[in-house]
Amino acid sequence: MTYDFGSTKYDLWTGAFATLTFSFVLRTSKIVLLFMNILILNHVAVHVADVKASIAFYRNILGLAQLPRPAFDFPGAWFRIGQTQELHIIGNRTEPVHSHSRGTHFALQVDDIKAVEAELKSKKATFTGPKQRPDGNWQIFIQDPDGHYIELCQLKA
């Protein structure tokens, strides 16, 4: 059985669909379709204790360009990641950070892991790697001043 949603077709037997994300919810014997068209990850936000130290790290160690930030009533900073994505720094963190390379972290894709390694060494940054993952991709892990883990990864060609 196939349902046609305009330009998107969904095959109930194979689960194949294109251009539209949705899920099934069973409520009192009725199937309800929930439609959500997620376009892209817009930003990642990290809660930090010292905004100035975080700005220095993300700008000077990782080389992210700082963006203008709206006049919120709390401290913070915004940075550009790639073409359209952003990193939002939110100040006044008082709770401990629970981050780990195999737990909560975010990853930034790079084009040359060896060049990244050399750059981090030249800046005397502390990091682990590069290490090749089982899928052939390479990764380096570094922590920001608050202990948030950031993965720098190069995808295999």
Q: Is the pLDDT of residue 18 over 70?
A: no
* Mean pLDDT, residues 99-111 taken together: 91
Cβ proximity of 16 and 10 under 8 Å: yes
pLDDT, position 78: 98
Q: Is the pLDDT of residue 32 over 80?
A: no
pLDDT, position 8: 53
Which residues, 6+ apart, have CB-to-CB distance to 87 below 8 Å? 43, 44, 45, 46, 58, 64, 78, 79, 81
**Looking at per-residue confidence, does 40 or 145 come out higher?**
145
* Residue 38 confidence class, pLDDT cut points 50, 70, 90: confident
pLDDT, position 155: 96
**Rounded to two decimals, what is the model's pTM?**
0.76
* Residue 4 confidence class, pLDDT cut points 50, 70, 90: very low
Q: Please state the domain extents for the chain.
A: 2-36, 43-154
**Looking at per-residue confidence, does 15 or 54 come out higher?**
54
The average confidence (pLDDT) of the chain is 86
**Looking at per-residue confidence, does 128 or 102 come out higher?**
128
Which residues, 6+ apart, have CB-to-CB distance to 116 below 8 Å? 110, 130, 140, 152, 154
Q: Domain 43-154 belongs to what topology?
A: 2,3-Dihydroxybiphenyl 1,2-Dioxygenase; domain 1 (3.10.180)
